[in-house]
Amino acid sequence: MEYIELNTKQKIPALGIGTYRSPKGEVGKAIKIALETGFRHIDCAYFYGNEDEIGEILKETFDQGKIKREDVWITSKLWNIFHDPKDVQEGCEKTIKDLQCGYLDLFLIHWPVCFEKRNDLDLLPRKDENTMSTVDIPLIETWHAMEKLVEIGLVKSIGISNFTKERIEEIYEKAKIKPVINQIENHPYLQQEELCEYCRKNGIQITAYSPLGTSHFKKENPSLLQDPIILEIAKKHNVSPAQILIKWQIQRGNTVIPKAVKPEHIKDNFECLKVKLTEEDMKQIATLDRHFRFVNPLNFWNIDVYGEANKK
């Protein structure tokens, strides 16, 4: 496994496994296979609704003693309804309880968006059919509550997800603990080089999500796994297109968290560590950028996280 050193001096495995839309009844088995295959980094979130099943497998694995808790990097994320500083610890503790892992290696603010917290803990509270029920809580207040989680030992490090440069600037200077990671959508069709460069300069590691172009959303979306250039490079190296897409991230210095539940996908993805892309391959893939987002809250929450509404 390759590791990347963070601004906290912690070492994170460059390759992890994602769990969004990994269905209950399948996700536990997927994590078991991933750990047996060699994965030591799991990307979770309260919102994914499957942390309890992942927790069962983690407990079983650590109880058996073959793999120790400290050898597995576990990330989770604060859901949007827990942004109020008085709710942040609750949001974190629910996750740790479900994952049965004692502490988190990394806890991220999932989105720079705060939803109303209702008594029934509705994860997607709506005002009406087209409008989410949002609340105005400055990100820096949520961030300071995240810092307390480190101080009391619930989490080893804290970071952000889906933050643009502008949102990072809202917290960066005032932060006592700087974010270690910004987890963002990243793949050849959405390379976000400017944001990546800004993060690198400020000691914030990039984790690439949806590196394979994700499995959901619209059918008419372009397919990264069938892109002719990716297919050509995969053929040349005699490996799968997924391996090219994942290794491309690692060779750019990003950590990457492809999601998979099929055993053959999990194993295929892990094998990417053996692939070595040439400088020419890297350059060729870089030409594929087309600023295409698979995951945009403008489409599913009608919230303009990326300041794109006026550009449409």
Cα–Cα distance measured from residue 284 to residue 279, given in angstroms and rounded to the nearest whole number: 9
Of 66 and 222, nearer to ligand NAP (C-beta) is 222
Residue type, 37: T
* 48 carries an active-site annotation: yes
Q: Which pair of tokens denotes residue 56? A: 């069962």
Cα–Cα distance measured from residue 239 to residue 116, given in angstroms and rounded to the nearest whole number: 46
Q: Which pair of tokens denotes residue 79? A: 């859901």
Interface with ligand NAP: number of residues (CB under 6 A): 28
Using the rule CB under 6 A, is 255 a contact of ligand NAP?
A: no
Of 19, 66, 37, the closest CA to residue 215 belongs to 19
Q: Interface residues for ligand NAP in 9-48 (CB under 6 A)?
A: 18-20, 43
Using the rule CB under 6 A, is 179 a contact of ligand NAP?
A: no
Of 21, 98, 114, 115, the closest CA to residue 54 belongs to 98
In the bound complex, which residue of the shown chain has the CB atom lying closest to ligand NAP? 18
Of 20 and 301, nearer to ligand NAP (C-beta) is 20
Smallest distance, ligand NAP to C-beta of residue 208, A:
8
Cα–Cα distance measured from residue 184 to residue 266, given in angstroms and rounded to the nearest whole number: 21
Q: Bridge-partner residues for 107, per DSSP?
A: 76, 158
110 three-class SS: coil
- Which of 213, 247, 301, 305 touches ligand NAP (CB under 6 A)? 213
Binding mask 49-88 for ligand NAP (x = CB under 6 A): ----------------------------------------
Residues tagged active-site: 48
Q: Which stretches of the chain bind ligand NAP, using CB under 6 A?
A: 18-20, 43, 110, 161-162, 183, 209-215, 225, 240, 242, 257-262, 265, 268-269, 295
